[in-house]
């Protein structure tokens, strides 16, 4: 399977981009693995004719918006995102209309129509920088993640920030109670959390950041053990970069209490991210399907908000 993928990729001048939440074997075959911000920068810069996106729909759509002349393939069209789903264009349009004079900042975890209604996109890796690029008294709408939005609001002290009430099912499933219990069991471990986690969880974290920032922290930090409070796919790369360190996933609230922390069967996979398999990547490359398309009128508007983000995050 891997040989066939490599052969097709070369013959078709294709590139495979994968998010840190992807299955290990998918991360291994990818040309580039990164967080949402790094992946959008790669999608904008690549010279390949075909981009196979081992991630979720909004990521592939972002790649298509940035590189309309390229063929962008998403190996499984069911790879959606519960956070993107929590912000529908009609309600969002009404919300913006009800709050004129606000600058709209949207997380890239949104559909193209939401991006087209947005002034500046952001990711978890640059949200703070994007918000700080605006004058202090600027009125801001931040969508769709309430946890990331409220976290940024709390660290910037910005009162003029309206936060959309959306969330991701994976990060909502982490509880402060479970985390406290695990911290008691492993007192030496540092806690790393993604800003999509709820506030009580974030308050217990030693470091908060995007998947790339969490990974980077584990490479530079001196601790030997970490509790990783985000989708556990990122642990594959952490372990690869720091083979002598221990990484413990935090099981979600629905896992049995008796589940050991290092049993990944009990932890909190993103069911959308894990839909991508080597078989589906191979099929996508072979048949050049399923292809992601974005209507040109929406694409042009959405592109502006993504390019503004890329410009501001330099």
The residues binding ligand 13P (CB under 6 A) are 35-36, 109, 123-125, 168, 196, 210-211
Site string for ligand SF4, 76-95 (x = CB under 6 A): -----xxx------------
Q: Between residues 196 and 303, which has the closer beta carbon with respect to ligand SF4?
A: 196
Q: Positive or negative CA dihedral for 99, 103, 106, 110?
A: positive
Q: Which residues of 253-271 are buried (b: 16+ CB within 10 A; e: fewer)?
A: eebeeeeebeebebbbbbe
β-sheet bridge partners, residue 208: 193
CB 149 within 8 A of CB 163: yes
Q: What, of ligand SF4, ligand 13P, none, does residue 82 touch, CB below 5 to 8 Å by kind?
A: ligand SF4
Q: What, of ligand 13P, ligand SF4, none, does residue 309 touch, CB below 5 to 8 Å by kind?
A: none
Site string for ligand SF4, 255-294 (x = CB under 6 A): ---------------x-xx---------------------
Interface residues for ligand SF4 in 198-257 (CB under 6 A)?
A: 231
* Residue 213: CB minimum distance to ligand 13P, A: 8
Q: Which secondary structure element, helix H or strand E, spans residue 283, and what is its range? A: helix 278-287
- CA dihedral defined by 128, 134, 137, 140, rounded to 10 degrees? -70
Binding of residue 106 to ligand SF4 (CB under 6 A): no
Q: Between residues 123 and 276, which has the closer beta carbon with respect to ligand 13P?
A: 123
- Give the whole-angstrom CA distance, residue 98 versus residue 22: 38
Q: Is the peptide bond before 290 cis (omega within 30 degrees of 0)?
A: yes
- Give the whole-angstrom CA distance, residue 192 versus residue 195: 10
* Residue 35: CB minimum distance to ligand 13P, A: 3
* Residue 13: CB minimum distance to ligand SF4, A: 28
Residues that bind ligand SF4 (CB under 6 A): 56, 81-83, 109, 168-170, 231, 270, 272-273
């Amino acid at each position: 399977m891997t040989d066939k993928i490599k052969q097709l990729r070369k013959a078709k001048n294709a590139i495979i981009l994968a998010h840190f939440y992807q299955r290990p074997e998918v991360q291994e075959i990818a040309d580039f693995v990164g967080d949402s911000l790094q992946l959008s920068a790669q999608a904008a810069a690549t010279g390949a004719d075909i981009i196979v996106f081992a991630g979720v729909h909004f990521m592939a759509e972002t790649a298509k918006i940035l590189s309309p002349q390229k063929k962008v393939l998403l190996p499984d069209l069911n790879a959606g995102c519960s956070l993107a789903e929590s912000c529908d264009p009609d309600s969002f349009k009404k919300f913006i209309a009800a709050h004129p004079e606000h600058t709209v900042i949207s997380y890239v975890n949104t559909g193209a129509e939401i991006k087209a209604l947005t002034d500046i996109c952001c990711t978890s890796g640059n949200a703070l920088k994007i918000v700080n690029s605006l004058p202090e008294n600027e009125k801001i709408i931040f969508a769709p993640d309430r946890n990331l939005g409220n976290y940024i609001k709390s660290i910037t002290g910005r009162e003029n920030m309206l936060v959309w009430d959306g969330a991701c099912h994976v990060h909502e499933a982490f509880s402060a109670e479970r985390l406290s219990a695990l911290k008691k069991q492993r007192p030496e471990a540092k806690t790393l959390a993604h800003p999509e986690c709820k506030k009580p969880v974030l308050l217990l974290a030693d470091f908060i950041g995007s998947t790339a920032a969490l990974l980077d922290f584990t490479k530079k930090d001196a601790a030997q053990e970490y509790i990783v409070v985000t989708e556990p796919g990122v642990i594959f790369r952490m372990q690869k970069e720091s083979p002598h360190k221990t990484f413990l996933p935090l099981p979600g609230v629905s896992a049995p209490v008796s589940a050991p922390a290092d049993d990944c069967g009990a932890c909190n996979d993103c069911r959308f991210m894990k839909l991508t398999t080597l078989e589906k990547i191979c099929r996508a490359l072979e048949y050049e399907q399923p292809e992601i398309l974005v209507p040109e009128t929406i694409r042009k508007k959405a592109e502006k908000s993504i390019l503004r983000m890329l410009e501001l995050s330099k």
